[in-house]
Amino acid sequence: MTDKARDYSETLFLPQTDFPMRGGLPQKEPELLARWAKLKMYDRLRDVAKERPRYILHDGPPYANGNIHIGHALNKVLKDVVTRSQQMLGHDSNYVPGWDCHGLPIEWKVEEEYRAKGKAKPDFSDPIAINAFRAECRAFATHWLNVQREEFKRLGVEGDWDHPYSTMDFASEAVIAREIMKFAENGLLYRGSKPVMWSVVEKTALAEAEVEYEDYQSDMVWVAFPVKQTANDALKQAAIVIWTTTPWTIPGNRAISYSSRIAYALYEVESATNDFGPQKGARYIIAEKLAQEVADKAKIVFRKVADVTADDLAHVTCAHPLQALGYTFDVPLFDGDHVTDDAGTGFVHTAPGHGREDFDIWMASGKMLAGRGINPRIPYTVDEDGFYTNDAPGFGPDREGGAARVITDKGAKGDANDAVIKALIEANALVARGRLKHQYPHSWRSKKPVIFRNTPQWFIAMDQPFDYAGKGGATSRAGSNQPTLRDVALASIKETQWVPAAGENRINGMIANRPDWVVSRQRAWGTPISVFVAKRDLPQHGLKEKDVLRDARVNQRIYDAFLAEGGDAWFADKSGARFLQPDFDPADFEKVTDVIDVWFDSGSTHAFTLEDPVAFPQLAGTKRKVDGGNDTVMYLEGSDQHRGWFHSSLLESCGTRGRAPFDVVLTHGFVLDENGRKMSKSLGNTTAPQDIIKTSGADILRMWVCASDYADDLRIGPEILKGTAETYRKLRNTIRWMLGSLAHFRPEDRVAVDTMPELERLMLHRLAEVGEQVEQAYRDFDYKRIFATLAAFMNIDLSAFYFDIRKDTLYCDPISSVTRKAALTVIDRLFEHTVRWLAPMLCFTADEAWIARHPGDTNSVHLETFAELPAGWRNDGLAEKWRKVRSVRRVVTGALELERAQKRIGSSLEAAPAIHIADAELFAAVSDIDFAEVCITSAATLVSGEGPADAFRMPEVPGVSVVSQRADGQKCARSWRYFDPATADAAYPDITPRDAVAMREWEALPKGAE
């Protein structure tokens, strides 16, 4: 006879696991990183994936100049999730990290150190000085590359960290130089004169991607250009009024643009109350829509004299308003599509050296200018320091007190506007003036305003037909049908998968409308533009003055030197003799000293990473689908890179290979604070990934990334992270419970699916259903959907439903119980699949759990693929039946919650509800279900028909009502179920007969086996 006071807890199959409830991630994660390093995980991943199709995530290089921030963390975690998930989907998914190491920010940091030490800036014309400076830049970049590498590894990012690429590696610089030389060879590289965005502070041209728009207060002027020639006598004494927010560009004016779609008129001043400018009788030509606004600004009253037609304007030539200072040339009128009557006067002051549209219309009008005898030369009115030149008479070096300045070297507004406005007033040409606060381009580095300035720069032509290497490797030679770089790039965009799809339209518009690519910078730290230009006609070499030398022997010598010494080799030889001789005389050539735009650097990374089997043997043999192979290359960066890295990579590859360097492009948004504000140290609303890792662990950060909609801007902050940590806790505890339960699972106890109870077969159906969704979402890069699906499945289907129901069976059933064995079989499958599905996202926790289940020095979930989901697990009919069961269960659960709230019961096992089902079809469908088991009560009665009026009901489940009743009998001392003591085994009178069978089997086990 068993003592009634016996403690039965030792006889229960309670969960047993060393997997802790609290993650302790800040301490555990470094241990796992050390384990992966010991395993040589990157090499192991390559070994297990041999012969699989490759999925290469080519890294968009971060800039090596500081600690990583939350945006870096978002980017790298997304990349890691892509890489890990594609590996588990059956690819050889390879990630080689890289760094962008050239450029102005690093130069600035080194120069700051010079200033702090009182050292003078080096003389970059001195080979020794410039290479010493470059060495300091290289050391600075190397330091931060190593710092960032450790920070990225701490995020759990798997990659070839021992062999990353960097744009400053000698091999990289050699290839970058070779790529720019390819553009010289195909004729797209040219030196020209164009207005470029110029930073006076940084003394360099800026690409579109280096500019951001900020609020700025500009001077506005309305200026009268006297009509000099016209076929309409009414216009002979009139003036055309233009409006501009850059008065300093007036010395650069060479034309006026109008639109044939706009209605213009001639107006005569009747009265004026101004201090300068328009007086009674003056006549002005202005767009009708804007005339009154101009009159108000000029403090005048005027009357309309006559309409002015587009034909009238086409035959007008004006004089420059500052002709008395030496601006004696004719000012023609152009019909331009860019002109509107939304603001201003309907006329656009056109200074081809200071605006893109101004330049374009000036160049497009070359034939007309020649016909009128107008010099098409574009002046250089402003120098690199922001001062006027001799091309701006009256404001340049000839001016009393020296040249006026547009912007100072500190980025402040200079005296140029005031000087020009004063001259306009003296010439009686200023109609009105004012100030305007608007969005104006600033350098993203210095945060100071930039100017459009005509400069000699190196460009890659977008619209010049060229020969390119086609997809089959042959050279396209289609005569007049040769494509332009713009044509090839636009075609390649259509062949690329864009995630999200809106990215295609965005980059398509940017490529379609972009100007020629400025690829030169006047700096020291970068890969040099390694070309030579003929100083004079060289008929013996087939060259004319200013032609770029194209010679395979010279190019090979440049490449070999860079491979051995890096770009320093270029600067070390002032004349270029080592590259030119013995084939050419250095005296005949100018050695270009500009460096290549860093966007060209990073745009060339595919060439020296994906295509260099010597430097990156792990990528050797890659053959993309576009080339007839099975491999895929993805680029993944922030959405701003449509105008940055995606853009430059596309153009670089299309110009040298005739196709895009990528097959898939994925973009993500930016990180804001919890209130949707941009993060700023001054606002104190930044969230540092290092802090999250230190306090919560990298997996919490990774979970935040995967739970967020990365396609939009993401928010982060203490409250959001608190919610993320709570969700993590629930998932971890679900995993922990599975591990604990599986401690009692023996492989030989595995149960065949067709012999399992319905509940187990239902869970396998749900597992298959969820698996299809999860794996498809991984293919679609829809991580938010995966996270939401898994969280719901593990928290609701498993923890709150299946596990809750099966705890009694698992803990209390006899060891021989088929239901218990079936449940363990299913839990084993649940663990194997869910942990694999979580592994790309929660890389640390998933591997910790996997090792707990599959101990061994070489085991890791990351070496696995997603497990097969047998088609036989799907059972839609069973799922529909159990949908009905669960709806009935909801009503019972609601009734029991009410009983608990009223203190009529404590545990649900104290209840024995009567369940009334009025719907005959529903009753028939669920009549064979043991609702006591499903509802975790000691008993349950199913009754056909409508229940009593006072029965518990839920409106959303019509036809089901529950009458709550307390369970009769005695409480089992082992399982806590209530039972009829008359049914008890005489040897175990205080427990149910089921528990008595379990006790007999437990006591029959060999000592210690339990």
Sheet with 914-917, strands from edge to edge, namely 941-944, 914-917, 960-963, 952-953
Which neighbouring-strand residues pair with 672? 678, 715
**Which is nearest to 98 in space by CA: 143, 148, 137, 138?**
148
Q: Peptide bond preceding 582: is omega within 30 degrees of 0, i.e. cis?
A: yes
**Which is nearest to 291 in space by CA: 375, 347, 227?**
347
Residue list for the binding site for ATP = 681
Which neighbouring-strand residues pair with 214? 440
d(CA 952, CA 963): 6
- For residue 677, the one-letter residue type is R
d(CA 505, CA 595): 32
**Which is nearest to 865 in space by CA: 309, 323, 91?**
91
Residue list for the binding site for L-isoleucyl-5'-AMP = 637
Strand residues in 381-503 grouped as ranges (E): 430-443, 451-460, 497-499
- For residue 124, the one-letter residue type is F
**Which is nearest to 741 in space by CA: 822, 861, 795?**
822
Phi, psi at 880, each rounded to 5°: -65, -40
Outline where 302-415 has alpha helix (H).
Answer: 310-314, 356-364, 366-372
Q: Are strands 952-953 and 960-963 parallel, antiparallel or unpaired?
A: antiparallel
d(CA 314, CA 125): 50
**Contact by Cβ (8 Å): 389, 399:** no
d(CA 396, CA 333): 27
The packing angle between helices 718-742 and 698-707, to 10°, is 110
Count other C-beta atoms under 10 Å from residue 360's C-beta. Answer: 16
- Three-class secondary structure assignment of 943-972: EECCCCCCCEECCCCCCEEEECCECCCEEC
**Which is nearest to 759 in space by CA: 848, 699, 826, 712?**
826
**Contact by Cβ (8 Å): 382, 392:** yes
Tokens linked to 373 = 């005898």
Tokens linked to 1005 = 């086990």
Outline where 709-817 has alpha helix (H).
Answer: 718-742, 758-779, 783-792, 804-812
d(CA 413, CA 450): 11
> Which DSSP letter does residue 752 get?
-
d(CA 414, CA 408): 6
**Contact by Cβ (8 Å): 217, 436:** yes
Residue list for the binding site = 637, 681
**Which is nearest to 33 in space by CA: 131, 192, 150, 163?**
150
**Which is nearest to 258 in space by CA: 272, 275, 241, 279?**
241
- For residue 165, the one-letter residue type is Y
Tokens linked to 771 = 């698996």
- The DSSP secondary structure of 799-861, one letter per residue, reads IIIIIHHHHHHHHHS-TT-HHHHHHHHHHHHHHHHHHHHHTTTSHHHHHHHHHHHS--TT--G
Count other C-beta atoms under 10 Å from residue 303's C-beta. Answer: 9
d(CA 512, CA 123): 41
What distances in angstroms separate CA 301 from CA 271, 276, 381, one per listed residue?
5, 15, 36
Q: Give me the residue label for tokens 């603001």.
A: 343
d(CA 809, CA 737): 14
d(CA 499, CA 480): 36
